[in-house]
Structure 1
Amino acid sequence: MPKPEVLPPEPQDGGAPRIGYFPDQIVARIAEIQRLKKDGWSMARIAEHFGARGATAPTPAAEAAAPAPAAPRMEAAREPASRVPAGPTAQPPAAPADARARRLPVLADVAVLVAGLQHSTSIWSELPPEEYFELINDIWSVADPIFRRHSGTHGKHPADGMVCYFFPLPAGSYLWNALAAAHEMRDAMRRISKDWQLRKGWSTELYMNIGIDEGQEWLGSFKSDSNVDFTALANTINQAARISDFSRSGSIWATKNLLGKLSADERMRIRYGVRRKGADGQHVFVPHVFSSVRRRSTHAGGGEPHKDVVLLPVAEIVSISPTPSP
C-alpha cells in the first residue's frame, strides 16, 4: 500500500489531528480484503490471491467485487478518495464521493488565534542565526501540544508568527478552546523567556502577543507537489492578526463578538476588560468593558491601526479560571 496523503482535518472531522487520503483503488482493495476475511479466507490465502497470478481462484462473489487494475500511482494521487483519521481511534474509510466533496472549500464557524513574537527583528539581530531558529523551534515545540490539547489546527502564517484554527466539536466549546489555548500559551512563554534569560544572561523578555476573533469563513487548502497549507480566506483571520499587531507584553485580546457568544458560565470564568488612565495618571483595569482597536492601538504605541478594524470592539483577557469567578 502506498502511504496516504496526510492533510489537516476539516471542521466536520472532529478532533483528529491529521487525516490520511488513500487513492480509490486502495480503499477498494481494503474493502475486498475485509470481505474475504469475513468469508473465512486466511491472510496467507488473501496475500496469494492478490500477489500471485496462479493463486486459488476467488469465489464468484469475490470476482464480482474485485477492484479494477490499479492506475499508476501518480495518477491515483491526483484524486484521493478516502479520509482516515490518524492514530488508534481511526474509523473505517468514508465513501470516495463523499470524501472528495469534503476536500472542497467549506463555509464553517471558526475561532482564529494569531500570535506574533514581539520585537522579533530586534531579537533576530541580537542572536546568531542558529540560536534564533532554535528559539523559534523551542516556541513551536511548546505551542504545538498546547494547540492540539485544545483541538486546534495549525494554519499558514508568514515569518515567525503562528495561526491556529478552532472548530466546533461534538463536545466542548471551540470559542473556549481558543481562549484556553491562548492563556496556556502565555504561561508557557513566560517559562521560555526565563530559560533564555538564564542561558544568554540577558534581560530581554520574550512575548507572544495574541489576537483572537471568530466568525464564519471559507476554509480550504493550497496544495503543491510536496506540501499542503490549510488556510482561511476571509475576514476573521485578518482581524485576529490586526489585534495581535497592537498587543504588547504577551497580552491576549479578543473581540466583543467572540466573548458575547460564550455561555454565561464561561464568561464568569474569564477576567476581561481594558486598562484606562485614572485622574491620578495611573492605569486602572476596568473589568467587563470593551474599547475600540483604534484607542487600544494608540494606547499601546502602535500607531494608527488598519482602517478595516479601527472601530472593532475588543477586550484584554487577563485571566481564566477553571471555576466561575465569585
Structure 2
Amino acid sequence: MDKLPDFKRHRRLRVSAAMRSMVRENHLRPEDFIYPIFVSEGKNVKYEVPSMPGVYQLSLDLLQEEIEEVVRLGIKSVILFGVISDKDEIGSGAFADKGIIQEATRLIKKIAPALLVVADTCLCEYTSHGHCGVIHQHDVDNDESLKLLAKTAVSQARSGADIIAPSNMMDGFVTVIRQALDEAGFQNIPIMSYAVKYASAFYGPFRDAADSTPQFGDRKSYQMDPANREEALREAETDIAEGADFLIVKPTMSYLDIVRDVRNLCHIPVVGYNVSGEYAMVKAAARNGWIDEKKMVMETLLSMKRAGCELIITYFAKDVCKWLKED
C-alpha cells in the first residue's frame, strides 16, 4: 500500500512522559485520602492486625506519633474506629462521654487541630453481639437503634469530631442523626453517609481489626445485596433527601459501576471506601512477589478517582503519600 488512509493519531498525546503528564485527566493527591485508624484501650498497645500488614490497633498513648506522621505526609483527614473489651447489648461504649473515640478525638484535636476527624458512627464495635443496633427477637430493631445512633453522633460531635459518618445502614439514619445534631447545636457538622454499603465478603480483615464480627447470623437484613444496582440509587437518593453532605460507596474496587451511577445521580462529594479485604489481597500478593504493589495500588486508586470518587478512605493512604513524595 503506497498511501495509508486518513486516520486519527491519538498517540501524539502519548509520545513522552511530559506529554502524558500534561493531558492526564485524574491525579492522586494526599488531600484525596481519609486514613483509617483503629484506637484501642490500654497502654503501650501497638498490635499489628495479622490479616492487614502495616495496620495497627493503637492505644491513646501511642497515637501522637501516628498523627504526626499523617500530618507530615500531607493527609488532611482520618476516620476513627474504636476497639474495646467491655461491651454490652446496646453498645453503650459508642456514646460514652469518655468513650475511646471521644477521647481519641479530643487528643487528636490537641495534637493537630487542623486535621479533620471523621467519626465512624455505628454500634457494632461496642455491642456484645457484634451487630449494628439493638437486638429484638433475634433481629436488629431499626427504630430503637436509631435513638442510640443519634446519641452516639451527638457525643462524637461534642468531643470535637468534624464529620459524622454513620455506617449502620438503618432506615432513616441520616434524618434522625441530622435532627439530633441540629437540636444539640451542631448544625455545621456534616454527615458523611455510608449511603451504599453492601453485605460484602471483602470486610473480613476489618472485623479482625475492629473486633466486630457478628456473634450470630449476618448483616444481610440491613446491608445491601451485592447483586443489586438500582437499590443503590434508591439508598443514595434517600440519603440526599434526608440531608447527607457526602455519600460513601462501600466497597469500591468491585463496585466502580455503582460509584459512577451515584456520581451521575448527585452533586455532593462521593467517597469510595477501599476496604480491608481489597487491601489484604494486594498486600498478600505483594509479599509473595506476584505483583508490583506500588503500581497496583496507584492504578486501583486512580480507577476509583476516574469512576467518580472525590475522596477515598484507604489503608494505603500513608504508603501512597510516600510514593507521591518519591515521584
Would you call these one fold, judging by a TM-score over 0.5?
Answer: no
Q: Please report the TM-score for the alignment, with normalisation by the length of structure 2.
A: 0.22
Higher strand share: 1
TM norm structure 1: 0.22
User: Normalized per residue, which structure has more helix?
Assistant: 2
